[in-house]
Amino acid sequence: MKQLIIKHSIFLSLVLFTACTTPQYKSPSQNSALNKISNSTAQTDKGSLQSLLDSFIKDDWLPTFESDKESEVEEEEGFTLQKYVDKSSVYIKAHPSDYETSNVHRMEKMPVIGSKKRR
């Protein structure tokens, strides 16, 4: 009986240790169950925000700096935050906004959330 208990405990411990040492994990690309649900997580179409940004850059931002010779030199040097700030100030001077088209006016026209209605 004593030998049976020893053999049983040795067998049980071997099964437990070998089960813990062999990983059953696969990378997501090799997981067939995951690939059945979703072949790819990459989107082929642009989102609305990306398309708005692309149209702004193409239609408004780049035409402002077409005649600027310094911008061609800056592209070779690399990006710095100061260059972006300088370009944004040039863009604001080239495209001034009045009160009617400003974001401040749009925000003031929105109803205030949580305000009490006056009767």
Instruction: Please give the C-alpha separations between residue 54 and each of 10, 15, 47, 74, 91, in angstroms, as whole numbers.
Output: 67, 59, 11, 21, 16
- For residue 114, name the pLDDT band (cuts at 50, 70, 90): very low
What's residue 8's pLDDT?
83
- Is residue 116 over pLDDT 60? no
- Every domain of the chain and the residues it spans: 56-109
- For residue 55, name the pLDDT band (cuts at 50, 70, 90): very high
What's residue 58's pLDDT?
92
Tokens for 41? 């997580």
- Is residue 1 over pLDDT 70? yes
Closest CA to 57 of 67, 49, 69, 47: 49
Overall average pLDDT of the 92-98 stretch: 84
